[in-house]
Amino acid sequence: MLGYIVKRLVSLAISLIVASVVIFVVIEVAPGDPASFMLGLNAQPDTVAALRAELGLDQSKVERYLSWVGGMLTGDFGMSYTYRTPVAQMIADRMWVSLPLALYALTLSTFIAFPAGIFAAARRGGPGDLTVTGATQLGVAVPNFWFAMMLVLIFAINLRWFSAGGFPGWDDSFWGGIKALTLPAIALALPQAAILTRVMRSSLLDILGEDFMRTARAKGLTARQALWRHGLRNALIPVLTIIGLQFAFLLAGAIIIEQVFFLPGLGRLIFQAITQRDLIVVESVVMLLVFAVIMVNFLVDLAYAAVDPRLRTRT
Amino acid sequence: MSLLSIENLSLSIHDSPILHGISLRIGEGEITALTGESGSGKSMTAFATMGLLPKGATTSGAIRFDGTNLLTLPEPQLCDLRGREIGMVFQEPMTALNPVQTIGAQVMETILVHKAMKPERAEERTREVLDRVGLPPDRFALSRYPHELSGGQRQRVVIAMAIALRPRLLIADEPTTALDVTTQAQIIELLKGLVREQNMALMMITHDLAVVSDMADTLNVMRHGEIVESGPTADVLREMRHPYTRQLFEASRHQADLGDAKADAPLLSVQNVSRDYPLPRKTLFGPRPTFRAVNHVSFDIRRGERVGLVGESGCGKSTLTRAILGLEPTQLGQITLDGDPVWQGGHPNLTVRRKMQVVFQDPYGSFNPRHRVARLITEPFHLLQDPPKGSARGNAIAEALTAVGLKPEDADRHIHAFSGGQRQRIAIARALIIKPELIVFDEAVSALDVRVRAQILDLMADLSRAYGLTYLFISHDLSVVRSITDRVMVMRAGEIVEDRPTEAIFDAPRHPYTRALMEAAPKLPELPEAQDAPHPAL
């Protein structure tokens, strides 16, 4: 088990290094000089040069890469070109919206998908299964912003249970924050839940056909006991894979939902930064997202090993 | 009164009839065998008794266990009976256990699900029962996982689960079919011992007459969902009233007519070959340890000779086969066919590959299901520099199909339209089509029913005589090898321990391992010659 964790950690470190190099190179290649962009079209060349020096853009590429990575390791992400505020602070503010939102949506989608998937698999071909499968078809097909608009129409405009958008922050009250994130989280969660339900169902159906499920029945377990005790854990591996992918998506891919609900999240930050050529913000946010995705994959790998003993001894 | 009595049981699944009026009885302490070919309804009889029939099954008749009709018993009572009164052991030990639970937990579950004992006592009982099936807890901790055990050990765990609560009836569905002969002999001893000690009734299902001939008290021969003959085992085997029983029996000990080997010059030469596999690293930076799967093996096969290679799983015969076929390089030594090396300059040597072909065990798995037979059997043409085209191609296909007993028209059909035996014929046609000199048969008849197997063996013998083909016949099954080879090599732990003419090796095995293999292999009783004519109907 220890060997397995060490191997995963080594591959995690290598992925991070490779990702940082790729991100740096790609951003460097992208056209547009931040200094001239910030100063506008009529700027004097020497002013631009001075700003370039101030921003560190005149250093060699290797120096800039190393100072970027070194800075990130110490929590210094540099200064935003546009807002002249520390990037770390900007990201941290947004993170307090995006991370809870992603976790909230993921929790909802898992809590919907597990029972729904198990319910459908246990009633394969029956009316319950057909209903669930039909609903997931719809959930996969309908875009999440449509759900978002419907939720706003029903729960914010008609019923007035929630506000239609905005985020009050966590300082006033925890529940206020949760309430503001509820509709966006549901909108994000529904399509994800639909996908996860389908994966759960098909994975469980595969397992139900396995020989050891028959063995379990021959021992005297009821169909339900066999499913819960022997089926579920074996069916989890593909489900964990999807959960890992979904978390990564939810963290950064919520940009449309953030727009619909006026949430100051990471997705909107990166969108603004790109349109304003705020390359240092783009670099840092992308690197942070890559870090998050790799960490999630690492956790998923650990979860695999926890679920399946064969992976602990495998090399 | 019998413990289990099946009375006129009929079964259909989605309106297609499976069983027709099966009747049989098993008393306490008795072993009753159900035998027959695949699709004869043996396993369905077992599942009907367990109440584990697939969806859409309808039954009539009765299955009385200790007087209770199991067919009408509600599911909760059936659950209570399964595992406690009736245990079941399955064919495939590799997949019959839950891979993510420890063996201890799985055995203990049988006890706990029936609330038969307190948890502490259940653990104690788990140790006892694992010890009884030959897995002493000091060597096989309860915390082991199934993947850490061999096939035979896993089958012991499955048996432990089935007998943990001392059921009165044990149903064993092909319990040894997936195992090596020596392991098979041990598992059969174990089952017989359990029947004796616990006065348990055993319903033994197997396609292999030899396995049950010396263990079962009564024998039921099944065909197409009916019991065609039943009675005390010795009587059934002596009298063989039904022609089908006789066919099964004769097919099981079928001897193909090989003719004399025209053996002259060596065709395949294996010289001092070794093959290593890297093992997982023990330390992060240390050298990788290796496992020597084949160890300094040397032999020749002469042109026209039919040679068998026998050994148990893990003995290195598959590794050796891959090396001979040029699928993998060897670490040491040289393999040549007709003087040319099979592996040259880091690549398989195509000139040599043209002269040899292989037929695998699973006829279905080795064909692309979306292609027609014509395309499937012409696959080896890519080995030729100038493959036949147009009518020459059509003639080659027709000739190959005719040679294996199929019709040229079959070329336009898909593989799913053929039975298992026909598929194996197509596999042989595929091997024949480029007129090779050596054909390697890798467990090529192991998955076939005995009567089909006998036909395929005859076909192989005919083709060998007609085309002067050389065969390398790889199998774990001694009886098959005996019927189709001139010479047998016995392989163990990467080495060939005995290599002599077939008759000599079967009459007087020299190496202790060969002797152990022969003794472990189940044998059919001698067929009394006087009984050759079909017995008049009574």
Residue type present at position B34: L
CA A280 – CA A78 distance, rounded (Å): 7
Beta-sheet pairing, B347-348 with B169-173: unpaired
A chain contacts of residue B158, beta-carbon cutoff 8 Å: 215
Handedness of CA B180, B182, B183, B188 (dihedral sign): positive
Q: What would the mean pLDDT of B500-507 be, rounded to a whole number?
A: 90
pLDDT at residue number B538: 40
Q: Of residues B87 and A171, which shows the higher confidence score?
A: B87
pLDDT-based confidence at residue B254 (cuts at 50, 70, 90): confident
Can you name the residues that pair with B277 across neighbouring β-strands?
B291
B1 vs B95 pLDDT, higher one: B95
Looking at the partner chain, which of A6, A219, A308 has a beta carbon nearest the beta carbon of B161? A219
Residue B535's pLDDT band, with cuts at 50, 70 and 90, is very low
- Residue among B99, B110, B281 whose CB faces A219 most closely: B110
SS3 content of chain A, % helix, strand, coil (to 5): 80, 0, 20
Say yes or no to pLDDT of B530 above 50.
Answer: no
Please give the Cα distance from B251 to B240 (Å, whole number): 14
With H, G, I as helix, E, B as strand and everything else as coil, classify residue A1: coil
Match 């003995």 to its residue by tokens.
B315
Least confident stretch, A2-11, A57-66, B526-535: B526-535
CA distance A16 to B377: 50
Q: pLDDT of B33-55, one tens digit each?
A: 999 888 888 889 999 999 988 88
Residue with tokens 């019991």: B227
Instruction: Report the C-alpha gap between B187 and B176 in whole angstroms.
Output: 7
Average pLDDT, chain B: 87
Closest CA to B473 of B446, B450, B493: B446
Beta-carbon count within 10 A of A242 CB: 19
Residue B282 has pLDDT above 80, yes or no: no
Location of structure tokens 């309808």:
B58
The reported pTM is 0.82
> Are β-strands B290-302 and B266-278 bridged in parallel, bridged antiparallel, or unpaired?
antiparallel
Please provide the DSSP assignment of B340-368 as one string: EESEETTEE-HHHHTTEEEE-S-TTTTS-
Q: B348 falls in which pLDDT band (50, 70, 90)?
A: confident
- Per-residue model confidence as pLDDT tens digits over A14-51: 999 999 899 888 877 766 677 777 777 777 888 888 87
Chain B hits for A215, CB-CB cut-off 8 Å, are 88, 90, 96-98, 158, 161
Q: What is the mean pLDDT of residues B354-382?
A: 86
Q: Strands across the sheet with B16-26, in order? A: B16-26, B4-13, B57-65, B68-69
Q: Do A215 and B75 touch (CB under 8 A)?
A: no
CB B41 within 8 A of CB B19: yes
Tell me the per-residue pLDDT of A250-261, one tens digit each, with 9 for 90 and over.
887 788 888 888
| pLDDT of B527 | 61
Closest residue by Cα to residue A82 from A247, A274, A243, A248: A274
- Burial environment of residue B136 by CB neighbours within 10 A (0 to 12, 13 to 18, 19 or more): exposed
Strand-pairing partners, residue B274, are B332
Spatial separation of the C-alpha atoms in residues A158 and A161, rounded to whole Å: 8
- Distance from the A237 Cα atom to the nearest Cα atom in chain B, whole angstroms: 11
Q: How would residue B537 be classed by pLDDT, with cut points 50, 70 and 90? A: very low
Inter-chain touch B158–A215, beta carbons under 8 Å = yes
Residues A215, B97: C-beta atoms closer than 8 Å: yes
* Structure-model confidence comparison of residues A190 and A64, the more confident one: A190
- Give B81's contacts (C-beta < 8 A, 6+ positions apart): A220, B51, B65, B70, B73
Look at strands B57-65 and B31-36 and give their pairing. Answer: unpaired
Give the mean pLDDT of A70-87: 82
Nearest residue to B464 (alpha-carbon basis) of B306, B307, B338, B324 = B306
What SS3 class is residue B457? helix
Q: Return the residue in B82, B86, B97, B100 with the most chain A beta carbons within 10 A, the one to mutate for interface testing.
A: B100
How far A310 CA sits from the closest chain B CA (Å)? 7
Helix (H) or strand (E) holding B249: helix B243-252
Of the candidates B83, B97, B148, the beta carbon closest to that of A212 is on B97
How high is the mean pLDDT of chain A? 86
Q: Please give the average per-residue pLDDT across B133-158, as a whole number.
A: 88
Closest to B84 measured CA to CA, from A219, A194, A315, A279: A219
Q: Contact B368/B378 with Cβ under 8 angstroms? A: no
Confidence of residue B533 (pLDDT cuts 50, 70, 90): very low
Burial A38-76 (b: 16+ CB within 10 A, else e): beeeeeeeeebeebbeebebeeeeeebbeebeebbeeee
- What would the pLDDT profile of A88-109 be if each residue is shown by its tens digit? 888 888 888 888 999 999 999 9
Residue A5 pLDDT: 85
- Residue B295 sits at φ, ψ, to 5 deg, of -125, 105
Per-residue pLDDT at B472 exceeds 90: yes
Give the span between the Cα atoms of B493 and B277, in whole angstroms.
14
Beta strand residue intervals within B127-256, DSSP E: 169-173, 201-206, 218-223, 226-232
Q: Is the pLDDT of residue B425 over 80?
A: yes
Q: Per residue in B120-129, pLDDT tens?
A: 899 999 999 9
Structure tokens at A137: 């078809």
